[in-house]
Amino acid sequence: MAATETGKLSDIWWLVLLRGIVLSLFGLLLVAAPGATLSSLVLFIGVYWLIHGIFSIISIFVGRSSLHWGWLLLDGMIGILAGIFVLKHPLFTAFLIPTTLVIVLVVFGLVMGTINLLQGIKGDGAGAVILGIINILFAIFLLSHPAMVAMFAAFLPITAGILGIIGGVSLIIKAFSIRGSRNESAAA
């Protein structure tokens, strides 16, 4: 049964790679031109969260994950709901960017950090553990320094870009790891 599950995930390794490339490019764009991309930030975040949520739910059915399906479902639902909210109310979200996005980033950081940490501990590798720790520490930092929220809003594009690059590179590495396991199982 494990071979069948690995086969399913290895068949879609390119989706993980594509997701990593898109996230890395988005991160690079935010770091390279934060002022020019700030107006598009809300739209991109909404689309990314929506896509991330959909991929998380799809992975319940087609992927092999060391994580319980309930965590993936929670991750997917939060991503989809956050994405839909941001896309349905872009002006409201853009108007309240310092508060709204920081609150969403804190919640998303805590949930995603916990999920990444659990995935890493259960066998998805050190990259998932590192990404989980970074997400959790970032969320705790924002919670413990409310006066920093306004200052953080000014650095939001660069911070999101750095996190995007880290997350994208982690996904690219994971995609090639999945592909490598596919080649190993095909050779055996």
- Whole-model pTM: value is 0.50
Domain residue limits at 20? 2-187
Q: How many domains does the chain have?
A: 1
The upper half-sphere exposure of residue 136, i.e. CA atoms within 13 Å in the direction of its Cβ, equals 13
> Is 36 buried (19+), middle (13-18) or exposed (0-12) by CB count in 10 A?
exposed
Query: pLDDT tens, position by position, for the chain (188 residues)?
Result: 444 444 565 677 888 899 899 999 989 988 888 766 666 777 877 888 899 889 888 888 886 666 678 888 898 999 899 889 888 887 776 666 556 667 777 888 888 888 888 888 887 777 778 888 888 888 888 778 766 666 666 677 788 789 889 999 998 998 888 888 777 766 66
